[in-house]
Amino acid sequence: MTTLPAFTCNDLFRFSNINLDPLTETYGIPCYLQYLAHWPECFIVAEAPGGELWVTAYKVNIYKSQWFSYILLFRGY
């Protein structure tokens, strides 16, 4: 059965290495830590019985009456 544990900083190292590669144009660990510190409720984790981890991070901004949303999906082990 899949569980929904709380997201922790250690989960950052369980993501796919492609996402945290410094040569790939994605967010780095400092960005995720900042988001986690400010909006921990925006991280949703699903862990399968075999240890496979899926993480969804989202953020919504409102700028001049315009809504912007960011949804990130990660897979790790």
Domain residues for the domain of 24 are: 9-76
User: Is residue 70 domain-resident?
Assistant: yes
Domain count, the chain: 1
pLDDT of residue 6: 87
User: Is residue 2 domain-resident?
Assistant: no
User: Is residue 47 domain-resident?
Assistant: yes
User: Is residue 3 domain-resident?
Assistant: no
Its pTM stands at 0.66
Q: What is the pLDDT of residues 13-71, one digit of tens each?
A: 877 665 666 666 667 778 888 888 888 888 888 888 888 888 888 877 888 888 878 77
Residue type (1 letter), 16 = S
Give alpha helix (H) positions in 15-57: 29-38
pLDDT of residue 26: 66
User: Is residue 65 domain-resident?
Assistant: yes
User: Is residue 50 domain-resident?
Assistant: yes
User: Is residue 66 domain-resident?
Assistant: yes
User: Is residue 1 domain-resident?
Assistant: no
pLDDT of residue 18: 54
pLDDT of residue 23: 66
Give the phi and the psi of residue 48 in degrees, each rounded to 5.
-80, 160
